[in-house]
Amino acid sequence: MDLDERIQQVEQRVNEACRRSGRARNDVRIIAVTKYVSLQTIQQLLQRGLKDIGENRWQDAREKWEQVGSQANWHFLGHLQSNKVKDIVGKFNTIHSIDRLSILQAIDRRASALGLTMNGFIQVNVSGEATKSGIEPDKLEAFSEQLKLYSSVRIMGLMTMAPYEAEPEQTRPVFRKLRELRDLLNEKSVLPYRIEHLSMGMSNDFEVAIEEGATWIRLGTVLAGREGG
Ligand SMILES: *Cc1c(COP(=O)(O)O)cnc(C)c1O
């Protein structure tokens, strides 16, 4: 399949999932995850109107970012180390992987020094897998209470990764739980403002995520493809 066919198929599947769940197509936004593909493919995605680009590691993203710059909206998705924060803040538009207080503090400090507000998602380890980053669900409220101290970070919502399942339907409880956590934070007014967004759903499970309320889906293989090794 070439890029145009993949885009068309993804669009059709997103549309169908929206229709099944009574959601507006505009409420679901797509991040093209480009960690497996070249600069050239990013440029083709941009030409086709896919402007939200996701990368996992600064080392891999750097050259692409230097070439593409602000033609794209950049989303940082990977586990973030403190010494990389200076590279990401001011270049990426949104960080999806805020998963501990020290990284929140580092992002806030850097954003404040640059005089900007950094958009972020709190990553939650809903599935409890030891290999996954993220705040444990029962620590989310205490973590969120700290946010008012870090006013150079604006939290858009919650992010999670479901375990890979051969049967995508199995991921549903993970996505449902993330939605319930968002609703609970809003009901209890834990943050100084309401949070709207859910960053959830990847190539294998995005339709289930949409049915459970995803507002940002992050698609690598199924959309941008996989090149090289
Ligand atoms: C790689 C990655 C994706 C996209 O993965 P695919 O399964 O190829 O769609 C989405 N989110 C995160 C955090 C990733 O690391």
Does the pLDDT at position 214 exceed 60?
yes
Tell me, what's the pLDDT at 137? 97
Atom 6 (ligand 1) nearest CA = 220
Tell me, using a 6 A CB cutoff, whether residue 75 lines ligand 1. Answer: no
Q: Length of the chain in residues, anyone?
A: 229
Spatial CA neighbour of 182 closest among 100, 124, 133, 102? 124
Rounded to the nearest whole angstrom, what is the distance from the C-alpha of residue 220 to the centroid of ligand 1? 5
pLDDT the model gives residue 131: 87
Residue 159 Cβ contacting ligand 1 at under 6 Å: no
> From atom 5 of ligand 1, which residue's Cα is the shortest distance away?
220
Cross-strand bridge partners of residue 73:
52
- For residue range 24-64, list pLDDT tens digits in order: 999 999 999 999 999 999 999 999 999 999 999 999 999 99
Whether residue 67 is predicted with pLDDT greater than 70 in this model: the reply is: yes
pTM attached to this predicted model: 0.97
Contacts of 53-60 with CB under 8 Å at 24 or more apart are: 54/96, 54/218, 54/220, 58/84, 58/87, 58/88, 60/35
Q: What is the pLDDT of residue 1?
A: 87
- Average pLDDT on 187-197 reads 96
pLDDT at 229 exceeding the cut of 60: no
Question: Which atom of ligand 1 is nearest the CA belonging to 202?
Answer: 9
Q: Is the pLDDT of residue 170 over 60?
A: yes
Q: How far is CA 22 from the centre of its chain?
A: 23
Residues of the chain with pLDDT > 90, as a percent, come to: 97
pLDDT in tens, 103-115: 999 999 999 999 9
